[in-house]
Amino acid sequence: MEPDLMKTMLRDMLLARAFEERAAQEYAQGNIAGFLHLYPGEEAVAVGVLRAAEPADYIVSTYREHVHALVRGIPPGVVMAELFGRKDGCCGGMGGSMHLFDRERRFMGGYAIVGETFPVAAGIGYAVAMRGLPEAVICFFGDGAVNQGTFHESLNMAALWKLPVLFVCENNHYQIGTEIHRHSAVAEVHKRACAYRIPAKRIDGMDVLAVHDATIEALEQIRVGNGPQLLECETYRFRGHSMADPGSYRPRVELQAFESNEDPVKIAIAETVAGYPSEEQIAAAGSGNIERLSGELQRSELLTVAQLEAMKKEVAEVVEEAVRFAGNSPEPVMADARAALDCNRHDEVLI
């Protein structure tokens, strides 16, 4: 993989982590109201998938969508302003955390209803297929959404009509507080796709490079007309389901294990800082001696420790500026709400 792309993805993940941690603080201070579902732990999925997508592709996401919006290019200040419910947010402050939308970037929404994304994505896919364009629709969903009727109905239609939809399951193993083995008769989400003859893969959703590669392959299949594909990305959220959830139903040891061994940001840093060692280098370092190896490689490889620190500082400043921008943005007024109600009175075609 291109070193520049690896660095871009590392920065995306660092920005995502800093943005979400800051959103949690702003929520605690009362600057963000309503529900707030955060993404720390899951960054490699949004980043790996969306950095493999083209600008012409459409994105449909869930209520846990801030990072998808950021990676898609909605400016951090505009996303934060939407979380704050302010006029400069991407929906004029009237959507809030769960309803980010940006038509220009083909970011076709966050959706609060579990399973709502499937028919929306299939519908957009149908519009694309009718025009015979090489565009794809990327549909994110959680493991908890696969028991909704919409999942089965939409996969069936997508397969039948060979719709250009990439279904991406963010399997964080929990539907709020219910662990996947207790909410799904078939806990391996990718296996469900075979009921509709949709090619599907389970991948390590903590490894941004693996997610990126799998997405490139799946999108290639879609673009040559082979119809829908499904990726199950195994991941983990470090926080509770939302800011209202302390997450105490999960064994502490489980959370600690994921945070220390599987943190996608740490993995991406290690991959980028260390680069890919050659077989000779691995042999010289001895098996399992990754720390020593990365230490040796830091001086000369893709990214120095100083550059990494500079990157962290830069994203912290971006987040600080986003909060300032959101805080300075005015509250919407009733006239804005009325204008928003009128927004599609003329049967405008959105896609």
Q: Which residues bind ligand TPP (CB under 6 A)?
A: 64, 112-115, 142-145, 170, 172, 174-176, 241
- Non-local CB neighbours of 343 within 8 Å, separated by 6+ positions: none
Tokens of 259: 């945070």
Minimum distance from residue 149 beta carbon to ligand TPP (Å): 10
Stretch that binds Mg ion, among 65-73, 134-142, 155-163, 210-218 (CB under 5 A): 134-142
Minimum distance from residue 100 beta carbon to ligand TPP (Å): 15
In the list 40, 142, 240, 275, the residue contacting Mg ion (rule: CB under 5 A) is 142
Is residue 232 near Mg ion by the rule CB under 5 A?
no
Minimum distance from residue 115 beta carbon to ligand TPP (Å): 6
Minimum distance from residue 325 beta carbon to ligand TPP (Å): 27
For Mg ion (CB under 5 A), the number of binding residues is 5
CB of 172 or CB of 229, closer to Mg ion: 172
Give the burial class of 234: count Cβ atoms within 10 A of its Cβ; 0-12 exposed, 13-18 middle, 19 or more buried: buried
- Partner touching 112 among Mg ion, ligand TPP, none, CB below 5 to 8 Å by kind: ligand TPP
State phi, psi for 70 to the nearest 5 degrees. -65, -45
Residue in 193, 73, 185, 105 with CA at minimum distance from that of residue 141: 193
- Non-local CB neighbours of 154 within 8 Å, separated by 6+ positions: 118, 119, 121, 122
Is residue 115 near Mg ion by the rule CB under 5 A?
no
Minimum distance from residue 110 beta carbon to ligand TPP (Å): 11
CB of 45 or CB of 302, closer to ligand TPP: 45
Minimum distance from residue 222 beta carbon to ligand TPP (Å): 23
How far, in Å, CA of 266 to CA of 212, rounded? 17
How far, in Å, CA of 158 to CA of 104, rounded? 25
Minimum distance from residue 328 beta carbon to Mg ion (Å): 35
State phi, psi for 139 to the nearest 5 degrees. -115, 110
3-state SS class at 152: helix
CB of 63 or CB of 196, closer to ligand TPP: 63
Query: Residue number with the shortest CB distance to ligand TPP?
Result: 142
Residue 49 near residue 104 (C-beta atoms within 8 A)? no
CB of 112 or CB of 270, closer to ligand TPP: 112
CB of 186 or CB of 310, closer to ligand TPP: 186
- Partner touching 264 among Mg ion, ligand TPP, none, CB below 5 to 8 Å by kind: none
Is residue 234 near Mg ion by the rule CB under 5 A?
no
CB of 188 or CB of 291, closer to ligand TPP: 188
Residue 146 near residue 153 (C-beta atoms within 8 A)? no
How far, in Å, CA of 236 to CA of 42, rounded? 6
Residue 154 CB neighbours (<10 A): 27
How far, in Å, CA of 273 to CA of 321, rounded? 27
Residue-by-residue DSSP string for 248-290: TTS-HHHHHHIIIII-HHHHHHHHHHH----HHHHHHH-TT-H
- Output the CA torsion sign for 324, 325, 329, 332: negative
- Which 173-192 positions form the footprint of Mg ion (CB under 5 A)? 174
CB of 97 or CB of 272, closer to ligand TPP: 97
Residue in 253, 210, 198, 271 with CA at minimum distance from that of residue 235: 210
- Partner touching 114 among Mg ion, ligand TPP, none, CB below 5 to 8 Å by kind: ligand TPP
CB of 164 or CB of 264, closer to ligand TPP: 264
Stretch that binds Mg ion, among 10-18, 172-180, 228-236, 305-313 (CB under 5 A): 172-180
Binding site for Mg ion (CB under 5 A): 142-144, 172, 174
